[in-house]
Amino acid sequence: MSRAEATKARILQAATEEFAAYGIAGARVDRIAKAASANKNLIYVYFCNKDGLFDAVFDAHLGRGLDLVPFTPDDLPDYAGRLFDHYQKHPEVLRLATWHRLERGTALEADPAVAEPARADKLASLEAVRKDREGTPGFAPATLLTLVLAIASAWSPTNAASAPETSVLTSDPAACRSAIVEAVRRLL
């Protein structure tokens, strides 16, 4: 890895922590540069501005990062369990997604197809599975995907219904995962 690539990686790591903690508006480029042991000007050279840096972080964790959890439309309970595992290993993912929704929600609403091509692929896969199955059609793909994602993140600190200090997650994450998988199985 070249020196420039190493610096860029340190900046992205520091920015991930900063944006997860403070959001876009609350994040400070000075703190990111200091945490990355990098010159503040390099952030502007590599990412143009703070919004460009957030976009790079968001893409790394929610775009390419969630590709680490392969979507299995024909086995949604397992997918939900693997998402839960990913969220446990990478708690910043849901925090970044929450900040994105809070601070850029109107941009997503204006043109969701541009913001979420991966979601469109998942919906198409769910529709194909739905057409292949006999019997009742069940939930529409968009509703089903929304429910599965919500269930998989049920014990997230970003979930207002989850009380972190009394959560079973701290004492028994395996029970939480099992409940998520079973809930999605019953949903289907």
Nearest to 80 by CA among 142, 149, 178: 149
Between 13-22, 43-52, 58-67, 167-176, the lowest mean confidence (pLDDT) is in: 167-176
User: Which tens digit of pLDDT belongs to each residue from 141-165?
Assistant: 999 999 999 999 998 877 766 655 5
What is the arithmetic mean of pLDDT over 123-136?
A: 79
> Is there a contact between 14 and 36 (Cβ–Cβ < 8 Å)?
yes
Is 141 in contact with 76 (CB distance < 8 Å)?
Answer: no
Which is more confidently placed, 166 or 119? 119
Q: What is the pLDDT of residue 131?
A: 79
Mean pLDDT calculated for residue range 62-78: 87
How many whole angstroms from its chain centre is CA 139?
23
**Spatial contact of 96 and 57, defined as CB atoms under 8 Å apart:** yes
Q: What is the pLDDT, as a whole number, of residue 115?
A: 47
pLDDT at residue 155, rounded to an integer: 85
Average pLDDT over residues 128-138: 72
- The residue-averaged pLDDT of 108-115 equals 44
